[in-house]
Amino acid sequence: MTPPTHDESSGNALGARLNWLRAAVLGANDGIVSTAGLVVGVAGATEDRSALLTAGLAGLLAGSLSMAAGEYVSVSTQRDSERAALSEEKRQLREEPEAELEELVGMLTERGLSRAVAREAAEQLTRRDALRAHASVELGIDPDELTNPWHAAWASFLAFTAGALLPLLAMVLPPEGWRLAVTVGCVLAAMVMTGWSSARLGAAPPGPAVLRNVTGGALAMAVTYATGTLLDAAGA
Ligand SMILES: [Zn+2]
pLDDT at position 50 is 95
Q: What would the mean pLDDT of 182-192 be, rounded to a whole number?
A: 97
pLDDT at position 134 is 94
Centre of ligand 1 from the C-alpha of residue 129, in Å: 12
Centre of ligand 1 from the C-alpha of residue 81, in Å: 15
* Helix segments in 136-205, DSSP class H: 149-172, 179-201
pLDDT band for position 235 (cuts 50, 70, 90): confident
pLDDT at position 109 is 95
Centre of ligand 1 from the C-alpha of residue 104, in Å: 7
Q: Give the CA distances from residue 16 to residues 24, 36, 94, in Å, rounded to whole numbers and listed in that order.
A: 12, 30, 31
pLDDT band for position 17 (cuts 50, 70, 90): confident
Q: What would the mean pLDDT of 8-15 be, rounded to a whole number?
A: 58
Centre of ligand 1 from the C-alpha of residue 9, in Å: 16
Q: Which residue has the higher pLDDT, 58 or 235?
A: 58
pLDDT at position 234 is 87
Q: Give the CA distances from residue 104 to residues 86, 92, 142, in Å, rounded to whole numbers and listed in that order.
A: 15, 12, 16
Spatial contact of 141 and 80, defined as CB atoms under 8 Å apart:
no
pLDDT at position 92 is 95
Domain boundaries, the chain: 13-233
Could you read off the pLDDT of 104-149 as tens digits, one per residue?
999 999 999 999 999 999 999 999 999 999 999 998 888 888 888 9
Spatial contact of 164 and 64, defined as CB atoms under 8 Å apart:
yes
Centre of ligand 1 from the C-alpha of residue 25, in Å: 36
Centre of ligand 1 from the C-alpha of residue 71, in Å: 29
pLDDT at position 6 is 47
Could you read off the pLDDT of 196-221 as tens digits, one per residue?
999 998 889 999 999 999 999 999 99
Percentage of residues in the chain having pLDDT higher than 90: 81
pLDDT at position 144 is 84
pLDDT at position 14 is 75
Q: Which residues of 47-70 are buried (b: 16+ CB within 10 A; e: fewer)?
A: eeeeebbebbbebbeebbeebbee
Q: Mean pLDDT over all residues of the chain?
A: 91
Distance CA 162, CA 164 (A): 6
Centre of ligand 1 from the C-alpha of residue 89, in Å: 5
pLDDT above 50 (res 8): no
pLDDT at position 147 is 82
pLDDT at position 12 is 64
Rama region for 3: left / alpha / beta (φ>0; ψ in -120 to 50; rest): beta
